[in-house]
Amino acid sequence: MLKRSASATPHGLTEGDGLATERAFDDTDGPPPAIEVRQEGAAAGEGGTWQVAFDLTNGGQAPLHLLAAWLPHVRFRSDEQSFDGVVLSPGERTTLVFQAAFEEPTGTEVENCFVILRVAYAGGTWRVLARFRVRSGAGGEPAVTTELITAHRVGFSA
């Protein structure tokens, strides 16, 4: 599910803002996408799932074509969603909504979770990894803290 907004979010935020600014990338063919990802909210679903919303902002200088997104962690998981024709102009943001499987006792922290995005940006296809940790709240709801965002060209190998 996707919601779009034309309002921009400032970039250059520090880790204390719940966003990471460090990026790793292969820059042989131009700059990587600059994407900000943070949780917007969570609502209880059915059968141990949560409707989890993430705010995604294109902080780069070129249009960002959103191709796919998913949550791969076994303890915080959602199937891949494909997007057709979703393009974010520089500064534009959208909301990604996942039906995420998450059944953890209150206070449990799950590390090394990811939102994985496949995007087209500045003539290349990129895989963006937004790494975060998830803490289970008083009602079992997932609370996400983004730790690091990296971008790698699809097909790039170190």
pLDDT value of position 11: 33
Query: Alpha carbon 128 to chain centroid distance?
Result: 8
Segment 116-138, tens digit of pLDDT: 999 999 999 999 999 999 999 99
**Mean pLDDT score of the chain:** 85
Give the predicted TM-score (pTM) of the model: 0.80
The rounded percent of the chain whose pLDDT value lies above 70 is 80
CA 138/CA 28 separation, integer angstroms: 46
- Structure tokens that stand for 84 in this block: 């057709």
Q: What is the pLDDT of residue 137?
A: 96
Domain 20-153 has CATH 2.60.120: no
Domain limits, the chain? 20-153
